[in-house]
Amino acid sequence: MTSTEKNKKYLLTGNEACAEAAIQAGCRFYYGYPITPQNEILTHMAIRMPQVGGTFIQVESELAAINMVYGSAAAGARTMTSSSGPGISLKQEGISYLAGSELPCVIVNIQRGGPGLGDISPSQADYFQAVKGGGHGDYHTIVLAPGSVQEAADLVFDAFDLADCYRNPVMILGDAQLGQMMEPVVFNKKCKPNLYKKDWALTGADGRKKNIIKSFYPVKGELEKFNAKLQKKYRQIKAEEVRYEEINIENADIVIVAYGTCARICKEFLKKDQSLNVKVGLIRPITLWPFPADIIQKVSERVQAILTVEMSAGQMVEDVRLSVSGRCPVHFYGRTGGGIPTPKEILKKISEIVSVKVKGTCAT
């Protein structure tokens, strides 16, 4: 691949689509370290960056990668790194500094099984790490969860705009399945790298006052003031940037909440399974932070139950429960360590929920 044409379909892995979309979005500085299942991002960048006059460095560590991203972001450029599980853990220090210095960047996180070295199969066990901060301090990254290769590409475009708009790191949270599978993808979004003026960037203080990029506030009261500013920004993001997809939720008896790969499986289940005598809908969060709490709260007021399906031991379900606040029962079905829920398993779980409901009805 040497360039992309508008409207032309390319058959790419999710990883390659993320890498190419970043280039199309004006990212010219990528720093990465090999780790499966996201290696195709590095290899694509290694080929493409020199073609577009960009920089690709295979670094000595994830620490170096995220700190080079910090430097390029501070210098005013669109910049990206990517990794998985163990590598993302190492990047957390830098992500905290990026958030604390209000620097825009994109981090692609293609989740694998954990904890520890885990394995390289699909997982959603790094949800907490992604949406609750991950590093030290009160901060958030914006977290976008694509459900297809096309959506991965589109969200990478949006990620760069969101990062620049809010001066905040944005994470694309996929998994091994999304990263490795191939689907047709078109690159039709426009590159808007100069949409936001970066008069805070380090460019040499020629004819102006100096700029300082920092997250250190040693004078009493300064840090609290800065944190208040950050929280105000996060409230604005929560108010304006929530995204989700809903399917058949109007008349649903039971609503499934699932994201990414799990949402795809649930969609298959909704399409195929007509054997249930309950109506099942789906809410698919696209932004995991900010979380689509309002719509989940709204449906919880009228459905019999909510089922959260994840490739984890139960992480997003905590945010679902917070949104529901006891208005309806919240059930959970999850697989861990590379296990992927099947439509059949989801059917079984829903049957159980329904039978519990029926039993409950008899008891009264």
Partner 1 sequence: MEAIYKTPKTLIDTPTHYCPGCGHGIVQRLIAEIIDEMDIRGKTIGLAPVGCAVLAYNYLDIDMCEAAHGRPPSVATGIKRVHPEKIVFSYQGDGDLAAIGTAEIIHTANRGENITVIFVNNAVYGMTNGQMAPTTLINQKTLTTPHGRSEKNDGYPLRVCEILSVIDGSRFIARTSITSPKNIIKTKQLLEKGFKTQIQEKGFSLIEILSPCPVYWRMSSVESLKFIDEEMSKTFPLGIFKDWENQN
Looking at the Cβ atoms of 202 and 242, the one nearer to partner 1 is 202
359 touches partner 1 by CB under 8 A = no
Q: Which stretch binds partner 1 (CB under 8 A): 91-99, 164-172, 175-183, 266-274?
A: 91-99
347 touches partner 1 by CB under 8 A = no
Spatial CA neighbour of 173 closest among 205, 147, 195: 147
Spatial CA neighbour of 105 closest among 196, 168, 156, 55: 168
Q: Which stretch binds partner 1 (CB under 8 A): 13-21, 93-101, 274-282, 325-333?
A: 93-101
CB 324: neighbour CB atoms within 10 A? 23
338 touches partner 1 by CB under 8 A = no
Q: Of the candidates 67, 124, 129, 261, which one interacts with partner 1 according to CB under 8 A?
A: 67
53 touches partner 1 by CB under 8 A = no
Residue 42 CB, nearest approach to partner 1 (Å): 16
Calpha distance 283→266 (Å, rounded)? 10
Q: Considering only residues 100-159, where is the footprint of partner 1 by CB under 8 A?
A: 101
Q: Of the candidates 22, 27, 31, 180, which one interacts with partner 1 according to CB under 8 A?
A: 31
CB 235: neighbour CB atoms within 10 A? 11
236 touches partner 1 by CB under 8 A = no
93 touches partner 1 by CB under 8 A = yes
Residue 60 CB, nearest approach to partner 1 (Å): 4
In this structure, are strands 105-111 and 79-83 parallel, antiparallel, or unpaired? parallel
Residue given tokens 């705009």 in the structure block: 161
Spatial CA neighbour of 112 closest among 58, 174, 33, 31: 174
Cα-based distances in Å from 269 to 250, 252, 278, 335: 18, 15, 13, 16
Cα-based distances in Å from 293 to 102, 144, 220, 308, 321: 25, 15, 35, 13, 10
- Which amino acid is located at 320 in the chain? V
**Could you give the angle at the alpha carbon of 18 between the alpha carbons of 14 and 21, nearest 5°?**
130
Q: Which stretch binds partner 1 (CB under 8 A): 144-152, 207-215, 227-235, 326-334?
A: 207-215
Residue 100 CB, nearest approach to partner 1 (Å): 9
Q: Of the candidates 17, 22, 69, 296, which one interacts with partner 1 according to CB under 8 A?
A: 69
Looking at the Cβ atoms of 8 and 216, the one nearer to partner 1 is 216
- Which amino acid is located at 10 in the chain? Y
Q: How many residues bind partner 1 (CB under 8 A)?
A: 40
Q: Point out which residues bind partner 1 (CB under 8 A).
A: 29, 31, 55, 57, 59-61, 63-65, 67-77, 79, 93-94, 97, 101, 202-207, 210-216, 218
